[in-house]
């Protein structure tokens, strides 16, 4: 009767106030359908829609039903990252940290925790080395009760050692004196070391392709454009070399970032450690675990969390690498539109659903778009993670679950760029024609030589000859040179000059990348 009266009250209220929002209602306020059915026509349309609402069926997760394109359309490109940044990988890293901490404690000389045998150590390390999807599922099952993932890992490990005569006596030293963040931050460090290695390897592969093109096309002269206007010539290879050198520099910066970690308790002061064993050098012990067993650099001064400054540094360097490649994507896109490059055709591919002639630069567009997404996530990670209220808040925890997203979009961008580079064919005829139509670019050369020999107003003379003028050609330039009062050898050098030969040391620079 209570539910019936509540429903009647809601109907009356809705009739008196049609603006009442259905979002304020709860299913428990409605009686069963047999009673409510006859009253349905009296309800405003919004209430009827509310009653008719049914949850859509849950679809099984696979690449076709995945919410994120990283696990759907681009799942293949992200395959190398699943064993590094997935929930499974995170759990696996936590298990490794927990068992290494326990093994280290057993070697510290505490009377209550005897030194573990080789069998005991091998068993514990095997938990991490052979951690399976079923093991991870078991941890997640425990988490349904604990509502705490790190505690679930601790309980799972205790469950694994419960039947081993040696290890069951050490069970309460699992997670000893640790806060969850001692386990999480070290796990993130392990994940980022692997993730960085994978990302650097991919960037070095891209760098190698670009550098190879720089050498291959070092001698092909090409007209430059500054502000979109014709400028001093360069070579195709030199422009690729510029990118290769920039990329090499940022790769070294990414590799040089020190990945930090801490294991110093709830607020970074070893409170629990020292109350249990006041005469033990916990700082030195923790440093040894972090650096020698886990391979990170120990951070001595932290709050509950490792402050994530190194993460910001790492993500900003990766963002810089991606920005360099976005710049490159756009330049190559432009050169393709100018027909400086052709793209190799693949039988069966379509460029447009309506224009059969199209061969679009889709790989460079895909790369640009996904690297932009990667940078958006990397930028948020870098800007947010170093900020935590007082000794810690939990905002970093949910954000850190997106490390794989930032790396994933980067990988999709790199994959598309690699694919696009593999299709490039230089169109020397078009590049040469473009150069031959731009004799005005030799004005710089002529006025500079005139300056050397003291000819009055050289810049102004060439400005009057060329600026804003159409039809500047070989005859225009050579007629002007012929009238100059400069040494014969200098005049001969200028007379022999063409846009294709006015390239400075571009060839040498291209080959030095």
Pair 117, 36 in one domain: no
Contact indicator for 139, 77 with CB cutoff of 8 Å: no
Same domain (yes/no): 195, 264? yes
Going by pLDDT thresholds of 50, 70 and 90, the confidence category of residue 267 is very high
Domain count, the chain: 4
What is the reported pLDDT for 3?
A: 46
Structure token pair of residue 137: 């599922």
119 catalytic per annotation: no
Considering the domain boundaries, does residue 351 fall inside one? no
- Asked if residue 448 and residue 338 are part of one domain, the reply reads no
**Domain end position, chosen among 146, 176, 206:** 176
| Same domain, residue pair 147 and 241 | no
Which of 130, 156, 176 is the last residue before a domain boundary? 176
Residue 508 in any domain: the answer is no
Q: Please say whether the beta carbons of 226 and 444 come within 8 A.
A: no
Candidate list 130, 163, 227, 357, residue with the active-site label = 227
Q: Which secondary-structure segment (H or E) carries 110?
A: none
Residue 510 maps to a domain: no
Three-state DSSP at 48 gives helix
Name the catalytic one among 9, 132, 352, 479. Answer: 352
Residue 268 lies in a domain: yes
Angle at which helix 443-452 crosses helix 488-495, to 10 degrees, equals 170
Read off the DSSP letter of residue 131.
Answer: -
The DSSP result for 141-204, as a single string, is: HHHHHHS-HHHHHHHHHHHHHTT-TTGGGGGGGTTTT--HHHHHHHHHHHHHHHHHHHHHHHHH
Are 502 and 443 contacting, i.e. CB atoms less than 8 angstroms apart? no
Please provide the average confidence, as pLDDT, over all residues in the chain.
92
What is the tens place of the pLDDT at every residue in 455-482?
999 999 999 999 999 999 999 999 999 9
Residue 318 maps to a domain = yes
The answer to whether the beta carbons of residues 453 and 487 sit under 8 Å apart is: yes
Q: Are residues 342 and 456 in the same domain?
A: no
How many whole angstroms separate alpha carbon 103 and alpha carbon 71? 37
- 428-447 pLDDT, tens digit per residue, is 999 999 999 999 999 999 99
Contacts 24+ apart (CB under 8 A), 468-475: 469/440, 472/439, 472/440, 473/439, 474/439, 474/498
* 66 domain residue, yes or no: no
Do 87 and 45 share a domain, yes or no? no
Q: Which two tokens stand for residue 224?
A: 């430059």
- Give residue 344's pLDDT: 87
Residue 384 contacts residue 49 (beta carbons within 8 Å): no
277 backbone φψ class: left, alpha, beta (φ>0; ψ -120 to 50)? beta
Q: Do 40 and 91 fall within a single domain?
A: no
The structure's pTM equals 0.88
Domain CATH number, residue 491: 1.10.40.30
Q: Is the pLDDT of residue 51 over 90?
A: no
In DSSP notation, 278-299 reads TTS-HHHHHHHIIIIIS--EE-
Q: How much is the pLDDT for 37?
A: 55
Q: Which of 45, 41, 54, 10 is nearest to 28 (CA)?
A: 10
Is 352 a residue of the active site? yes
In this structure, is residue 212 part of a structural domain?
A: yes
d(CA 190, CA 165): 31
Q: Are residues 369 and 486 in the same domain?
A: no
Same domain, 362 and 447: no
Cα separation of 7 and 269, whole Å? 57
Final residue in a domain of this structure, among 395, 428, 461: 428
Give me the domain span that covers residue 94: 75-176
**pLDDT tens digits, one per residue of 306-354:** 999 999 999 999 999 999 999 999 999 999 999 999 998 877 776 655 6
What's the token pair of residue 91? 């759990």
Whether residue 172 is predicted with pLDDT greater than 80 in this model: the reply is yes
Is 50 exceeded by the pLDDT of residue 228? yes
Q: Quick one: how far is CA 270 from the chain centroid?
A: 35
The percentage of residues in the chain with a pLDDT greater than 70, rounded to a whole number, is: 88
Kindly state whether residues 226 and 330 are assigned to the same domain: yes
Q: What does the pLDDT read at residue 166?
A: 96
Which residues pair with residue 222 across a beta bridge? 234
Q: Are residues 172 and 238 in the same domain?
A: no
Q: What is the pLDDT of residue 346?
A: 78
Same structural domain, 201 and 321: yes
Please give the radius of gyration of the chain, using alpha carbons only, rounded to the nearest integer: 34
């Amino acid at each position: 009767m209570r539910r019936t009266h509540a429903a009647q009250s809601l109907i009356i209220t809705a009739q008196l106030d049609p603006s009442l929002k259905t979002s304020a209602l709860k299913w428990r306020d409605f009686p069963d359908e047999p009673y409510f059915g006859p009253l349905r026509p009296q309800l405003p349309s919004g209430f009827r829609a509310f009653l008719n609402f049914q949850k859509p069926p849950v679809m099984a997760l696979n690449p076709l039903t995945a919410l994120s394109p990283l696990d759907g359309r681009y799942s293949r490109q992200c395959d190398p990252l699943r064993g590094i940044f997935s929930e499974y990988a995170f759990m696996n890293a936590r298990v490794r940290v927990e068992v290494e901490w326990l093994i280290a404690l057993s070697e510290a000389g505490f009377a209550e925790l005897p030194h573990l045998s080789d069998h005991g150590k091998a068993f514990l390390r095997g938990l991490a080395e052979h951690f399976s999807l079923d093991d991870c599922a078991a941890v997640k099952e425990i988490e349904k009760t604990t509502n705490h993932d790190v505690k679930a890992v601790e309980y799972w490990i205790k469950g694994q050692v419960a039947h081993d005569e040696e290890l069951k006596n050490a069970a309460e030293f699992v997670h000893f004196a640790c806060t969850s963040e001692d386990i999480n931050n070290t796990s993130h460090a392990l994940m980022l070391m692997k993730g960085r290695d994978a990302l650097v390897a991919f960037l070095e592969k891209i760098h190698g392709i670009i550098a190879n093109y720089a050498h291959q096309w070092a001698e092909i002269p090409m007209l430059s454009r500054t502000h979109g206007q014709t400028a001093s010539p360069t070579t195709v290879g030199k422009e690729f070399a510029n990118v290769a050198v920039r990329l090499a520099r940022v790769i070294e910066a990414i590799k040089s970032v020190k990945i930090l970690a801490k294991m110093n308790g709830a607020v970074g002061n070893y409170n629990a450690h020292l109350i249990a064993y006041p005469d033990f050098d916990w700082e030195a012990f923790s440093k040894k675990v972090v650096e020698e067993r886990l391979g990170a650099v120990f951070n001595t001064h932290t709050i509950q969390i490792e402050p994530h400054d190194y993460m910001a540094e790492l993500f900003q360097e990766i963002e810089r690498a991606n920005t360099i490649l976005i710049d490159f994507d756009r330049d190559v896109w432009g050169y393709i539109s100018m027909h400086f490059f052709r793209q190799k055709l693949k039988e069966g591919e379509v460029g447009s659903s309506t224009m059969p002639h199209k061969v679009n630069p889709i790989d460079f567009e895909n790369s640009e778009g996904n690297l932009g997404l990667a940078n958006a996530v990397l930028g948020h990670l870098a800007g947010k993670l170093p900020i935590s209220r007082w000794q810690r808040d939990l905002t970093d925890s949910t954000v850190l679950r997106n490390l794989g997203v930032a790396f994933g979009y980067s990988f999709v961008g790199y994959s598309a760029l690699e694919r696009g580079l593999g299709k490039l064919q230089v169109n020397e005829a078009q590049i040469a024609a473009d150069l031959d139509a731009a004799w005005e670019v030799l004005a710089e050369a002529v006025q500079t030589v005139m300056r050397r020999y003291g000819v009055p107003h050289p810049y102004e003379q060439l400005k009057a000859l060329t600026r804003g003028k159409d039809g500047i050609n070989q005859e225009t330039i050579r007629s002007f040179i012929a009238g100059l009062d400069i040494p014969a050898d200098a005049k001969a050098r200028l007379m022999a000059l063409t846009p294709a030969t006015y390239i400075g040391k571009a060839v040498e620079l291209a080959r030095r990348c």
